[in-house]
Every structure is written in structure tokens, then in C-alpha cells.
Amino acid sequence: MRTTIKDAPETQNIPIIFVSARGAVQDQERGFNLGAVDYITKPYELSILRARVRTHVTLKRKSDLLEALVSLDGLTGIPNRRRFDETLNNEWRRAIREQIPLALIMADVDQFKNYNDFYGHGSGDDCLREVAQCLMEAVQRPGDLAARYGGEEFAAILPDCDKDGACYVAERFRNLVAERGIVHERSAVAQHVTISAGIATHAPTLGDLSEDLLKRADLALYHAKWNGRNQVYSGVIELMPFV
């Protein structure tokens, strides 16, 4: 059971109830050590078994709901930094196992401080919500993740995605924000809110670190802003230990 249920990511969080004729303490201890949430010995009353199943299903639903809330950004409603970090680590390991590329997009709102200072923090919050929705629209594949990285900065994790695919998503994100037409009179870039984005892609092998991909994407974002903002930078960023 351990290898087929508890070690598989798709099923490892499913509550398991043991129903067994073995009632010794050692047997029950072994069942709980294998990951069971409850242990029922035969003979048993069907009504009692059903009641326990209902109880554990209810607890699991509440646990899943709490986990989801903890992983969401309170302002924008999209995945937060914690969820981003967890997903990046998981997808990095999967990319190594399956020998596939992983793409990362880092983006932020151009001259957002000027926007906040001029329109107020309430309007700034509304702006960030709009930008977050644009990112969610741009990141469409089920396995991709769009997240608020912090402040006015956003990020996307694109598993099994090459540079061209990542550029398409980032440009779609940039265009969707521009099409919103959120007025930004204090921007030196345009009369509406814009975003800049940087892209990094890599097919990792054992020994590579996900932190280096993150650094590359962050430096690419810096290049996009340095080059004039309101653009996507996808040039190669040299950073050891990748070659």
C-alpha cells in the first residue's frame, strides 16, 4: 500500500481507514504507521463504519479548504509566494526526472509607486487585481501556475515549456494588461498601466538549482525595465553554474 498510495503524489493525501480482523495493538500500530487515519476491527457495524467515513471525508474537505486559503494571495485571489515556491521546487524535480524544460516568467507593474502615490492605495489594490486577472487569462494550461510574487511583482511557472512558448505567454500577459486601459497619468512609459517581464528557461539536470533559474528570470526582468519597460526580455542570461 505504501508504494502505491502514500508514495504517489496523486493519492498520498487520501485518508485511509483500515478494516481488519487483526485487532492486536501491534497490527493497529503498523496500520497507523503506514498512513491510516483510522483502524476498525471486525466484526463491525456498517452504520459505525459509514459514520467514520463521513467524519474523515468532512475533515479532509475542511483541511483542503484551509490549505487552499493559505496558498492564495489575500488581495488578488491568485496563488501566493508560498504556493509559487512549493510549485517551483516540485516542478524542478519533475523536470529533472522527465528531462523536460521548465520556463519561468517574472513580471512587475511599471512605475507602480507613482501610480500608488497619485491615485491612492485603494486604486493601487484595484490595479493589482486587474493585473492578476490578466496573468490568469494569459496562463491557460492546467499544469501552469500564475502567482503574485510580492508587491507589484507577478510570476508564472510553465512546465515542459520552451523559450518560444514562454515568450508567447508573457507577451499575451503584457498585451492583456495594455488592453485593460487602466489610466496611469504618472507613467513615463504610456498613458495606461503597463508591465515588464523577463523569461528564463532551462532543462535541469542533477546538481542544478531552481534558485539559479529564478535569478535568471529576475535579471531578465531587470533588462526589460532597463531597456525602456513595457516589454518582454527573453535574451540569454549567463549565470553560473548553468552552462
| Range(s) within the chain of domains with CATH label 3.30.70.270 | 81-233
Summarize pLDDT for 84-143 with one digit per residue, the tens: 999 999 999 999 999 999 999 999 999 999 999 999 999 999 999 999 999 999 999 999
Diameter of the chain by CA atoms? 76
> Which CATH architecture fits 2-70?
3-Layer(aba) Sandwich (3.40)
Using a 10 angstrom Cβ sphere, with 0-12 exposed, 13-18 middle and 19 or more buried, the burial of residue 163 is middle
* pTM attached to this predicted model: 0.76
43-66 burial: b if 16+ Cβ within 10 Å, else e? eeeeeeeeebeeebeeeeeeeeee
- Write down the CATH number for the domain with range 81-233: 3.30.70.270
CA angle, residues 158, 168, 243, in degrees to nearest 5: 60
- Which residues are the active-site residues? 152
Summarize pLDDT for 34-89 with one digit per residue, the tens: 778 888 878 888 888 888 888 888 888 877 777 666 789 999 999 999 999 999 99
